[in-house]
Chains A and B, each alone.
Chain A
Amino acid sequence: MPSVSMVVNGRQVSGEVEGRTLLVEFLREQLRMTGTHVGCDTSQCGACVVHVNGESVKSCSIFAMAASGAEVATIEGVANADGTLSVLQQAFQDHHGLQCGFCTPGMVMSAADLLKINPNPSETEVREWLEGNICRCTGYHNIVKAILSAAATLRGEAVAAE
């Protein structure tokens, strides 16, 4: 089997994969990093979103080999260095932006990319950006609130307590 190596959350990793092994399978099965989830087999749900070279990617839609040599960031690497929640993660908790938690890693990774590209999104822009992330629990209301609130915090604005 061919081997593949990449940097995941700042750590150099490598492993043996088949040509058909997906990036998400490599993360979950080989690296046992199970924070990244699989919710579908048609690249629709977004539970598997990670960052590859700084951009959000559905990790079920690329082969592990295709990420060879890449910098990959997953939900396990999002918290602050001291273990506390990042601004975005904290906003999800503060605004009850998760229930069962299954879509959450993908939501957070996807939203992080949005806020990098667009630090001041409108509600409509947030909702449109999340088109590729399905949540069955929250009705999105609180996810949208969480992302807008995190955006404000990151811009340095005071956010009204919830």
Chain B
Amino acid sequence: MAKDEVSASAVGAPMKRREDVRFLTGKGSYTDDMNRPGQSYVVFLRSSVAHGVIRTLDVEAAKASEGVLAVYTHRDIEADGLGGVPCGWEITQSDGSKMVEPAHPILASGKVRHVGDPVVAVIAETKAQARDAAEKITLEIDALPAVVDMRSAETAGAAVHDEAPNNVCYDWDFGDKEKTEAGFAQAAHVTTLEFTNNRLIANAMEPRACIGEHDAAGDRYTLITTSQNPHVIRLLMGAFVLNIPEHRLRVLAPDVGGGFGSKIYHYAEEALVTWASKKVGRPVKWTADRSESFISDAHGRDHVTKAELAMDAEGKFLALRADTMANMGSYLSTFAPCVPTWLHATLLAGQYTTPAIHCRVRAMFTNTVPVDAYRGAGRPEATYLLERIINKAAAELGLDQAEIRRRNFIRPDQFPYETPVALTYDTGDYLATLARVMTMADYAGFEARRQEAAGRGKLRGLGLSCYIEACGIAPSSLVGALGARAGLYEAATVRVNPTGSVSVFTGSHSHGQGHETTFAQVVADQLGIPADSIEIVHGDTDRIAFGMGTYGSRSLAVGGSAIVGAIEKIVAKAKRIAAHLMEASVDDIVFEDGQFKVAGTDKAKAFAEVSLAAYVPHQYPIEELEPGLEETSFYDPKNFTYPAGSYLCEVEVDPDTGVIDIVGMWAADDFGKVINPMIVEGQVHGGLAQGLGQAFIEQCVYDANGQLPSGSYMDYAMPRADDLPSFAVETDLVGTPCTHNPLGVKGCGEAGAIGSPPALVNAVVDALKPYGVQHMDMPLTPQKVWTAIDAATPKMAAE
């Protein structure tokens, strides 16, 4: 192999992405780009009412409409005995009982529970004909009072589901309550913070889409879908909804235009197109309009929390208490119940030695779209809680925001560190990331910048946030004990082809992360062959042994580890073949730089020579070894991974308009070992944009009737290029490699979205310090900021 090939693809090199060429030339292959012969189109008639009973549903005119092939309602679903959309996680409540888990019908049965709840599926020759026909349906709904604000859901006087008369899905708590109370009893100072974590919509740029197809000859179904985890969809839909065994169901997730969590879940539309494709005998395609995405994709966040932090006189944390309400929306989406519980309460130690923590979470049903994991999922909420309350505490105690954190950091010599909320952090160096970001942002020079801005009539603020997250979900036995209805390992098959090229089949799925490049770098490094001779295959349940998919920053840590496991088996077998070829003992074979060598001699066989021998076994230890060179590995993680970092955000607020200008955003992350720094930095950039978006402009708004005014890009503020600054991101710290996976990697996909919201809010609160502002809820819109300034101004003038 030429030297430059090695260096370009080496682990740690910013290898350019191989997937880019198809995307840059318009040759990507997204679900909506695909068309199957004889394909028909489905359009859903959805509820325009948040809560109500279906009084009249007449579809006869639609059935007679031009081009219509079929019109389905809940009755047809019921007649075929289909299941509802399943939930993948069960929470056990504080009193030992199970959470309330209402049915989630594919098409609304009797009652509608959110604006967008699908009621009728119309299938026609063209999309336009299906749409025209849907307009001919008579649907009359007797409206019921809508449960919208979860804070009053318990006493709303209306139940989203009869099984949950007070709209409580579960009431759960975690941590040592007595020890926490004892901590508060000793406290010299207690800081309290009440806040909301604003509801968001993931808004991947590719709207969801799917195509169902049934092959009558083989009674086999194919579903092409915009999914982050095709095997999970096969499992959920096949086993729980349609009763199709795995060998008769293929799920493909081709190029997928972003996910951010919203494409993890199994959605009703997937089941419907698959089922209907057999009924109408034609492939059935559905593509969401963006307006439809807003009312049918799972939303994110939406917590209301009261937090209290007990400290001694020096600002050392003694105990933390949190009481959270989390919105589940109208039905339980796939992972929804675990987000505010096991992905939130367990993160409340953060980077700190707080000895006692207690968290209660009540999950509420409301007449809104289901809420589930969105980039970070529970961890942004936990980080926001901690990093905001710490800054409030620092302000109350008159401590510098960095200093109060330093006093409470887990020190490098304390790892592995067992937190009071069940996690054991394997490794980390929080002082290092803090020091790094302070240097990057010229922390020491901030006061001068504040002065200078003040001279221009601007309010400048600097906000710090130190996050930790738990990635690489997770040991199957652990998540099983916590209520997951699946294992969370990953699978990979490595096939060495006869001439030495390599095909890798991974259960991870790439929808922007660049796995085709990064995974190839890993394999090239391990096998000492050019990245060019390696293909990465993902997104097809027929080609890939199994998979749990991509979410929670798990692909490299878990999926990459499975690839390494398969490679280890390959190398072990190849050594035995090489030993036979060179008439040496297998113990004397060393594998380096793509060569099998007999130690202490100049005998060597190239990787491709050995692979050829495996498939042309003329001279081969056939008595003891099967031909071929292909291995599969399932990797079940031993622990979560714990990436951590420190972020600083600097803002300038215009007191006349309330407009926030983000003048600096610095990120110092410890992701452990980094395979491709270019891709990793890109992941952080994207996360920062989403986190900052949450903090200052994004907000999903429901009105009192459960209508969604923020239901388009005209009303939901997506961050645009001119809303955001350039970012300063450094991931090249020596870092602390993960100790329990073979690559030493931790995961980087969510960090930016987790660390940045509190950094920005801390910065704005810092800027508004002269006005006595202690807290403002996200998003910090100009109106909100201006109102806070305006409210404080007369008071200041009077003083």
Contacts and interface: CB of A to CB of B under 8 A. Distances in A.
Interface in B19-43: 19-28, 30, 32-33, 35
B721 A131 contact: yes
B17 A76 contact: no
Contacts of A61: none
Nearest to A102: B257
Interface of A: 18, 20, 28, 32-42, 44-45, 47, 74-76, 78-79, 85, 89, 92-94, 96, 98-105, 108, 123-124, 126-128, 130-131, 133-144, 162
Contact of A101 (B16, B207, B255, B719): B255
A76 B25 contact: yes
B468 to A, nearest CB: 22
7 contacts: A18-B128, A40-B713, A93-B17, A94-B16, A96-B14, A136-B205, A139-B686
Contact of A141 (B25, B258, B727): B727
Contacts of A102: 28, 30, 204-206, 257-258
A134 B689 CA distance: 12
Interface residues of B, number: 59
B634 interface: no
B718 interface: yes
B33 A34 contact: yes
Contacts of A131: 720-722
A38 B289 CA distance: 9
Contacts of B682: 96, 99, 137-138, 142
Report, nearest first, the 5 A-B pairs whose CB atoms are least far apart. A35-B26, A101-B23, A102-B257, A139-B689, A100-B512
B685 interface: yes
A78 to B, nearest CB: 7
Given A134-B205, A134-B718, A101 B678 contact: no
A143 B206 contact: no
Contacts of A141: 685, 724, 726-727
Interface of B: 14, 16-17, 19-28, 30, 32-33, 35, 128, 202-207, 255-258, 260, 289-291, 511-514, 678-679, 681-683, 685-690, 712-714, 718-722, 724, 726-727, 752
Contacts of B686: 99, 136-139
A79 B23 CA distance: 12
Given A44-B713, A99-B682, A101-B255, A136 B23 contact: no
Contact of B712 (A40, A124, A142, A144): A40
A40 B688 CA distance: 23
A144 to B, nearest CB: 7
A98 B23 contact: yes
Contacts, number: 183
A100 B511 contact: yes
A37 B24 contact: no
Contacts of B260: 136
Q: Which of A92, A105, A134, A136 has the most CB of B within 10 A?
A: A136
Nearest to B290: A40
Contact of A99 (B21, B513, B722, B726): B513
Nearest to B720: A131
Contacts of A93: 16-17, 20-21, 24
Nearest to B292: A41
Given A130-B721, A131-B720, A47 B512 contact: no
Nearest to B33: A34
Given A93-B16, A134-B713, A162-B14, 17 more contacts: A34-B30, A40-B290, A44-B712, A47-B205, A74-B26, A79-B25, A98-B20, A99-B514, A100-B258, A101-B22, A138-B685, A139-B690, A139-B752, A141-B685, A141-B727, A142-B682, A144-B721
Given A79-B25, A100-B257, A39 B33 contact: no
B206 A100 contact: yes
Contacts of A32: 35
Given A33-B26, A92-B24, A101-B28, A41 B289 contact: yes
B24 A104 contact: yes
A131 B683 CA distance: 21
A40 B715 CA distance: 13
Contact of B689 (A35, A76, A98, A140): A140
Given A100-B204, A102-B205, A37 B722 contact: no
Contacts of A142: 682, 685
Nearest to B291: A41
Contacts of A144: 721, 726
Contacts of B722: 124, 127-128, 130-131
B203 A139 contact: no
Nearest to A77: B26
Nearest to A94: B16
Given A99-B512, A101-B255, A131-B720, A75 B20 contact: no
Contact of B205 (A103, A127, A162): A103
Contacts of B16: 93-94, 96
A75 B26 contact: yes
Contacts of B22: 101
A157 to B, nearest CB: 20
Contacts of A103: 205, 257
B721 A143 contact: yes
Nearest to A105: B26
A139 B724 contact: yes
